[in-house]
Structure 1
């Protein structure tokens, strides 16, 4: 409910701004806010490009970065979605969906414009990272006001957890971008609860799934609870809102799912990568010892040769992993705890940052990122307390960390799996920081007002008092 505005005197009416021409103060503040976001984005882009050219430029293109890079160029050339490794090594065209398509589809944009080199994709990935800063700012403003938006954007610009993956050309960049989007869409739905907002939420869910397959769990962790628990909304309308969100999401992912169902022997939907991921994470090497909770090629080397067709290979690896899990279920609690600890930086953190160098992450930057993470995690707990006291919905911010934790328990623990949850940590930390700053600024303003009033009163009674 807006506060009442006293009616102005008749002589002042002419001085009031018209509805078509808002007061300068009302225009200036949003403009200054956007200028602040733009300045922060420039800072974030500078950090990412410095990281790229100082640490990563001219490094070998291998592993997942090679996959995303080559898949983007193949897609831009109209060659579909083959296995780029197989095509490069043997020249054979083998249908593949090791990773969901969104990362390579986005990288195909510069490829279509003629920028097909790996450096071009690295720079474009940095620009996607800057896009995440913008969405973080908008989400922070929607959650707790403009100051929180700027604070969150500032953290997102400089915190290594938000940019370490960008110049590497990894799907974590797309995961971060889409997860900020779904957080923003969730708060928009919580505010308005309309069918357009439900459709927007469903579209964000589809983007998240097409970026990282394991994030499909957000359908159950975030979207269904958010819609079905909407207070003050009749159950029939809730069902309609949920149907709209689901239909929008299904329509958005249907082309990729249909494409996969048409080209593999076994049913595959978002990715053929689950089996190979499970195969390298469920064996003696990862259930105890130095690599507890991580992954090891020893797991695959102990298995017979898999089929060449990618869906059959996926099924083969999945069954091998399920068999091992059943035979060693007593180790699952310890393995799950180690995986969670690795992902959130509390189990052998210095060993984990050394293991991360296999993905070309500089050791020094990973260590800085780990220490910064610990600080943000503690501060983020304060953000949870602040939002709870304000009765602000917490589910949109907690859903992604919960989902990533569940996925980590299923597969393995590693630093980059946490990437999609970094925006939630950043936003919660920003809420706590701005709330603390507001509490500190209140007494300071009161003291400044008291001193000013005291000086004014003395100057009124003592003509010789300096003003």
Structure 2
């Protein structure tokens, strides 16, 4: 019993610390929060689910423009606890704390328990991991499922058991039902499969089995919602529409020339797009974006570079965050300073960790590399903001832990082990010279 407590105590401690920080954040910065913008849409969907049993933004008008998972969760919370968004935000606090625990487990399995504890504490305290636990966007939910997917795939790489395949498939399905682009994680499964077979990390039969189980389970869980969408719209919509609005807002003259929120390359609302839209349907917006891309090839490199740069900014304006909703509060001002400074340290340490662990830990970090790479590609292809960096913030903390491991540990592949080897070679050199003289 004592041994079990010793194993689980650090994870429980990190969960409690993370939960305390997140609840404190909601009670101070987020006190009196009102859902706005996308959060308002999710809140309205949940209320209509609760009152009309209809996934509707407008009364009794079924909607296909939003992914269903988060509105259904909010609706379930409202059914039990009443229509108070504070309970939904408490759920996000619990989920965000779970993300910190997964980050701790990742670090424990890749590095060691001491580094894992440091990584878990950083994850619990880092503003980039808790600011989204105070508003009703999907960032916290999506990040949790992405981390669940990544950790399951990592453990599957070590011990190819069916349980990890099922966990990975469920996480992938939930991520896809939270955000439509979550289905892109399936591409990572295929890339991972090619790598593991090519370097003989796992038997090819186990890898094929894993890919089939993950794929079938993910699509099996998504299929009921796809069928529902077809019954409503008579079109194939895997999870949700809305991709056209994202593309049109990203690829237009205004995005290239104007500096909304202080930066170029940001997404632009449909009413501010130049040249203006003539068809506001999803298909019309998609056609507009593709036409702009075909007719402006010279603008694309600059636009892509801005998407990439904006992704790594400490903070890009997000209207509706509690810290923006209540900017005059002392707690908001303190958090604002932390939000705009601490990402520099985490990103710098993560970059260093990527470099110093690339040779000794690349197999263990293969899945985090793939998830980070996919997120960068999506941000460059669509548009990058600090909010869209949210799914990989835990993995950046993990890589930062890799830098700390390299500097402080004595294991093979760390700085101390390299210095020790260097001293050993210096000591052996006089012996070889003496032997040469004797000869």
Work out whether the TM-score is over 0.5.
Answer: yes
The equivalent residue for 1:372 is 342
Whole-angstrom distance in 1 between the partners of 2:101 and 2:76? 20
Give matches, 1:174-213, under 5 Å: 174-213=141-180
Q: By how many angstroms is 1:70 displaced? A: 2.4
Question: Which residue does the alignment assign to 2:8?
Answer: 34
- Tell me, yes or no, if structure 1 residue 293 matches structure 2 residue 259: no
Aligned: 1:321 with 2:289: yes
Q: In structure 1, what is the Cα distance between the partners aligned to 2:224 and 2:235?
A: 17
The answer for the alignment partner of 1:436 in structure 2 is 407
Shift of 1:28: 4.1
Q: Distance in 2 between matches of 1:128 and 1:32?
A: 23
Give the Cα separation in 2 of the matches to 1:42 and 1:234: 40
Kindly indicate whether the alpha-carbon contact (under 8 Å) linking 2:253 and 2:274 is maintained by their aligned counterparts in 1: no
Structure 1 residues 62 and 289, CA gap change in structure 2 (3 angstroms): closer
Q: Which of 393, 398, 403 is equivalent to 2:364?
A: 393
Aligned counterpart, 1:58:
32
1:285-364 alignment runs, 5 A limit? 285-291=254-260, 292-297=264-269, 298-299=272-273, 302-304=276-278, 306=280, 313-345=281-313, 353=316, 355-357=317-319, 359-362=321-324, 364=333
Offset of residue 424 of structure 1: 0.8
Q: Within 5 Å, which residues of 2 pair with 1:87-102?
A: 87=58, 92-102=59-69
- Pairs within 5 Å for 1:201-240: 201-220=168-187, 222-230=188-196, 231=200, 233-240=202-209
Q: Does 1:256 align with 2:225?
A: yes
Distance 2:373 2:93 in 1: 27
Cα deviation for residue 164 of structure 1 reads 0.6
Structure 2's unaligned 5+ residue stretches are 328-332, 417-439
User: Does the Cα contact within 8 Å between 1:340 and 1:408 map onto a contact in 2?
Assistant: yes
Say if 1:388 and 1:394, in contact at 8 Å, map to a contact too: no
Query: What is the number of residues matched between the two proteins?
Result: 397
Aligned-partner SS, 1:425: helix
- Does the Cα contact within 8 Å between 2:157 and 2:201 map onto a contact in 1? no
Q: Distance in 2 between matches of 1:387 and 1:31?
A: 34
- In 2 relative to 1, CA 388–104 (structure 1 residues): closer, same or farther, beyond 3 Å? farther
Shift of 1:335: 0.5
- Structure 2 length-normalised TM: 0.83
Mapped to 1, the partners of 2:130 and 2:201 lie a distance apart of: 40
Residues 1:194 and 1:280: Cα distance change in structure 2 (over 3 Å) = same
Larger Rg: 1
Q: 1:233 and 1:42 mapped to 2: Cα distance? A: 36
Q: d(CA) in 2 for partners of 1:227 and 1:50?
A: 42
Change (3 A) 1:242 1:281: same
Equivalent residue in structure 2 for 1:382, among 349, 352, 362: 352
Cα 1:134/1:238, change in 2 over 3 Å: closer
* Paired residues of 2:176 and 2:183 also in contact (CA < 8 A): yes
TM-score normalised by length of structure 1: 0.78
Question: Contact 1:100–1:271 at 8 Å: present in 2 too?
Answer: yes
1:183–1:397 contact (8 Å) kept in structure 2:
yes
Which moved further from structure 2: 203-212 or 36-45?
Answer: 36-45
Q: Distance in 1 between matches of 2:22 and 2:361?
A: 35
- Provide the C-alpha distance between the structure 1 equivalents of 2:127 and 2:389, rounded to a whole number of angstroms: 12
**Aligned-partner SS, 2:56:** coil
Check the 8 A contact 1:272/1:314 in 2, yes or no.
Answer: yes
Aligned partners of 2:39 and 2:342: how far apart in 1? 26
Question: Shift of the alpha carbon at 1:55?
Answer: 1.9
Q: What residue ranges of structure 1 are gaps of 5+ in the alignment?
A: 1-26, 307-312, 444-467
CA shift digits 1:11-54 (9 cap, x unpaired): xxxxxxxxxxxxxxxx6465235333333322222222222222
Q: Which residue of structure 1 aligns with residue 138 of structure 2?
A: 171
- Shift in Å, 1:304: 2.4
What is the CA-CA distance between 1:358 and the residue it aligns to? Answer: 5.4
